Amino acid sequence: MKNSKTLLLLVVLFLTAGAAANGQCKSFAKKTCLPELGSYTHDGNYHATILSEGEEAELYKTFFSDMEYRMSVCSDENLPAVEFLVLDANRNVLYSSKDNNNSRTWDFRLQSSQQLRIVLKVPSGQNQGVPAQGCVSIMFGFRIKS
């Protein structure tokens, strides 16, 4: 009985700690990801979440032909480098960070406005233990096309 209560307490603490950690993601996103946008103006949107090794997140966004964009993807130090893929509406891969030296940023512009899908992948860890977990954030900056 005592062991089951201890276990339940640990589960409660673990799960509520996860929710509180989301609050830390905002600080992480502002401190780490935002400066990577450089001279591009941050659009003000917030995309950050806690992911574990082996997990993925997706994002759907419209990009406009009048703008130039920079995408910045950041992850906690305890996670392996996050890979990101950019796909068009027909699931064709337009960019892969893995094929570009695991780059964390990507600068691009469009001839015509498109809806794109971005897939963020945290690679699975090499160790057999509990998968590492941490903040993963993606931010977008824009500027008028020169």
Q: What is the largest CA-CA distance in the chain?
A: 69
Binding window for other proteins (CB under 8 A); candidates: 64-72, 74-82, 125-133 = 64-72
Considering the rule CB under 8 A, would residue 23 count as an interface residue with other proteins? yes
Specify the amino acid at residue 126.
Q
Among 31, 35, 38, 56, which residue interacts with other proteins (rule: CB under 8 A)? Answer: 56
- Check the CA dihedral 2-6-8-9 and report its sign: positive
Which is closer to other proteins, CB of 9 or CB of 81?
9
Considering the rule CB under 8 A, would residue 19 count as an interface residue with other proteins? yes
- Please return the burial class of 137, using the count of CB atoms within 10 Å of its CB with bins 0-12, 13-18 and 19+: buried
- Residue 69 contacts residue 109 (beta carbons within 8 Å): yes
Could you tell me the two tokens for 92?
A: 């064709």
Which is closer to other proteins, CB of 59 or CB of 132?
59
Considering the rule CB under 8 A, would residue 95 count as an interface residue with other proteins? yes
Considering the rule CB under 8 A, would residue 2 count as an interface residue with other proteins? no
Q: How many CB atoms lie within 10 A of CB 125?
A: 16
Residues making contact with other proteins (CB under 8 A): 1, 5, 8-9, 11-12, 14-16, 18-19, 22-23, 25-26, 29-30, 41-49, 51, 55-62, 64-68, 85, 88, 90-96, 106-115, 119, 121, 138, 142, 144-145
